[in-house]
Amino acid sequence: MKINCLQTNPGLSLEKNMSELESMLASLMLEPGQANVAVLPEVFAVMGSDELRRSSANNLGDGVFRTLSGWAKRTGQYLVAGTHGEISQQPGKVYNTATVFSAQGALMDVYRKIHLFNLKDANGTPLYCESDVFAEGQESSTFWIESGTEKWHCMTIVCYDLRFPEIVRREISRSGPLDVLFVPAAFTHQTGKDHWEVLLRARAIENQCYVVACNQTGFHTEGRKRNWGHSMVVDPWGQLVNQLGEEVGVLQTTLSKEIIQSARVRLPALQDRVFKS
């Protein structure tokens, strides 16, 4: 299975951001005989104020989500489509929704981000709270990608979810071991330099699966905030397979089922679990 992570630096213009993404997708070289999977970062379509997040949100099947489906079908790629705002029933709030589309453009999976980042100072004064604009998701899920004769069991978590390993272990208990954990993110520069790689490698080691992390990069919100970049692929042994720096670009990697099987034979940690609920 071939992976292409699109590391981008979206700004305030949805139209410009989507145009740049479309050009990047169209330029990818596909590998025949296997699944080609393009991965987008969290909130890839627009970066800006809470009001901009609300006004750019769509219902599933409309707007940006409809465009994503068309891109997948037109390019013949699976699309692990980062996240985009989805209209919710809660006044003033939208879901931060991750979607996955088949190479035929069918919607395969929907995950609404569960863990919302709410930063406060020592006195409890809010500094930056995702819950001001995002509604909290309630459920995780998995999906399958077919690549030649192989089937890959996959799951998506989003950015801050990375710090809560129980979300993945709970899903493994319900639906079986994962082959690939996708992590679209807008992980900040401040925390990314210390925590990003460590957390990604930990999730790969403990779940004995590939971790494919697609992060935003660069400055945004009029230069006041900065994302870490360093999109990367980690193998089931916790080894770094490939990564980008802080440039806008595409990270290309081919995943192997044999690598997963080898890691689980060398260290049977998944089958030796005691607490499985």
What tens digit of pLDDT does each residue of 241-257 get? 999 999 999 999 999 99
Q: Which of 2, 93, 113, 130 is catalytic?
A: 113
CATH number of the CATH domain containing 38: 3.60.110.10
| Residue 208 lies inside a defined structural domain of this protein | yes
| Residue 195 lies inside a defined structural domain of this protein | yes
Q: What is the pLDDT of residues 172-220, one digit of tens each?
A: 999 999 999 999 999 999 999 999 999 999 999 999 999 999 999 999 8
The verdict on whether 159 is a catalytic residue reads yes
Q: Looking at residue 140, what is its pLDDT?
A: 98
Q: Looking at residue 179, what is its pLDDT?
A: 98
| Residue 6 lies inside a defined structural domain of this protein | yes
| Residue 265 lies inside a defined structural domain of this protein | no
Triad 80, 84, 89: Cα angle to 5°: 125
| Residue 274 lies inside a defined structural domain of this protein | no
Copy the structure tokens of residue 176.
Answer: 């079986």
The verdict on whether 51 is a catalytic residue reads no
Number of domains within the chain: 1
Which residues of the chain, if any, have pLDDT below 70?
222-223
264 CB-side CA count, 13 A:
16
| Residue 271 lies inside a defined structural domain of this protein | no
| Residue 134 lies inside a defined structural domain of this protein | yes
Q: Looking at residue 171, what is its pLDDT?
A: 97
Q: What is the number of residues in the chain? A: 277
Specify the DSSP element, H or E, that contains 166.
helix 166-175
CA-CA distance, 173 to 177, in Å (whole number)? 8
Query: What is the reported pTM?
Result: 0.97
Q: Which of 5, 20, 42, 171 is catalytic?
A: 42
Q: Looking at residue 223, what is its pLDDT?
A: 66
Q: Left, alpha or beta for 221 (phi > 0: left; psi -120 to 50: alpha)? A: left
Q: Looking at residue 128, what is its pLDDT?
A: 80
For residue 225, the enclosing domain spans 2-258
| Residue 264 lies inside a defined structural domain of this protein | no
Residues 72, 105 contacting (CB under 8 angstroms): yes
Q: Which of 2, 5, 86, 159 is catalytic?
A: 159
The verdict on whether 120 is a catalytic residue reads no
